Amino acid sequence: DIQMTQSPSSLSASVGDRVTITCRASQDITTYLAWFQQKPGKVPKLLIYAASTLQSGVPSRFSGSGSGTDFTLTISSLQPEDVATYYCQKHDYVPWTFGQGTKVEIK
């Protein structure tokens, strides 16, 4: 099965900083990569699918890029409400494996 590896596992940044999270697949998944945001005690929320398509209603400061095995989620200007854990997930063939998560905090 294809493994999904995120880095870093956690990060701390200042409000207004540009934040980048990476996700690596152990095999080519073309662009079938989604990103989710989960705030403490809340339901995961889809941010991006197909590697770079922004889900409706998601702020434009979030963006995704990549294809094949290497993907990136970027928050262009970190806001206090972005404190959350972010997960990548492959959404092509089963299993639809999640990455282990990246916890984002405000410095």
Minimum CB separation of residue 16 from other proteins in Å reads 28
Q: Does 71 bind other proteins (CB under 8 A)?
A: no
Beta bridge partners of 7: 22
Considering the complex, state which of residue 70 and residue 92 has its C-beta at the smaller distance from other proteins: 92
Among 13, 17, 61, smallest CA distance to 37 is for 61
| Amino acid letter for position 32 | Y
The rounded distance, in Å, linking the Cα atoms of 76 and 50 is 19
Contacts with other proteins, 2-31, as mask; x by CB under 8 A: ------------------------------
The rounded distance, in Å, linking the Cα atoms of 20 and 53 is 17
The rounded distance, in Å, linking the Cα atoms of 32 and 50 is 5
Q: Does 100 bind other proteins (CB under 8 A)?
A: yes
Residues near other proteins, by CB under 8 A:
1, 32, 34, 36, 38, 43-46, 49-50, 53, 55, 85, 87, 89, 91-92, 94-101
